[in-house]
Amino acid sequence: MQRVKLDKIDRRILRDLQSNGRMTNVELSKRAGISAPPCLRRVRALEEAGFIRGYHADLEAKALGYNVTVFAQVGLTSQAEPDLEAFEAAVREWPQVRECHMLAGETDFLLKIVAADWDAYQEFLTSELTAAPNVSHVKSALSIRASKNEPGVPVAVDGVEGAD
């Protein structure tokens, strides 16, 4: 992974791609104020440097039958590195777990889990999550609604996040 020093144009490119990953290179270059060939070179350099991890579609969970989102706080009996890694490996095998964050403090992991309904979540909870080795307890919080779901990170252009 090569090192890239981000300038105003790079930050604008990152901000615009984060908000619309399907933007054409021509549109992106216009918004960045440069021609298309150097814009494409910059995008490739940002990808190679690891600033851009990938591109994806933002899918509507409910349209696909996932009507329940649960945040599960998971406590482990051991926090030894091999045990943490084993739990993380198990989590990667569960498709309904969409995010996994290791935390400092009382809770070891916070999981974002989607399910068709509450019964499907309970089935996953009892047959997979609480049955996993080293899991001591799980505290579930059902999401009522999401009032903000902004992907990525704020990208400052001209020192102001979200500035044009």
What tens digit of pLDDT does each residue of 41-92 get?
Answer: 999 999 999 999 999 999 999 999 999 999 999 999 999 999 999 999 999 9
Do 21 and 40 share a domain, yes or no? yes
Q: Residue 155: which of 44, 14, 26, 36 has the closest Cα?
A: 14
Instruction: For residues 80 and 135, state if they share a domain.
Output: yes
Residue 127 counted as domain residue: yes
Average pLDDT over residues 136-149: 96
| pLDDT for res 116 | 98
The per-residue pLDDT for 2 is: 57
Average pLDDT value for residue range 131-135 = 97
1 within 8 A of 50, measured Cβ to Cβ: yes
Are 111 and 79 contained in the same domain? yes
Confidence of residue 33 (pLDDT cuts 50, 70, 90): very high
133 and 111 together in one domain = yes
Determine the Cα–Cα distance for residues 6 and 9; give it in Å rounded to an integer: 8
Mark whether 125 and 84 lie in a shared domain: yes
Q: Are residue 38 and residue 70 in the same domain, yes or no?
A: no
How far is CA 87 from its chain centroid?
19
Is 151's pLDDT higher than 60? yes
- For the cut 80, the answer to whether the pLDDT of residue 164 exceeds it is no
110 occurs within a structural domain:
yes
pLDDT at 158: 82
Mean pLDDT on 14-27: 96
Domain extent, residue 34, equals 8-57
Q: What is the mean pLDDT of residues 11-28?
A: 96
Q: Would the pLDDT of 3 be above 90?
A: no
Which pLDDT belongs to residue 128?
98
| Model confidence band, residue 5 (pLDDT cutoffs 50, 70, 90) | confident
Q: How many domains does the chain have?
A: 2
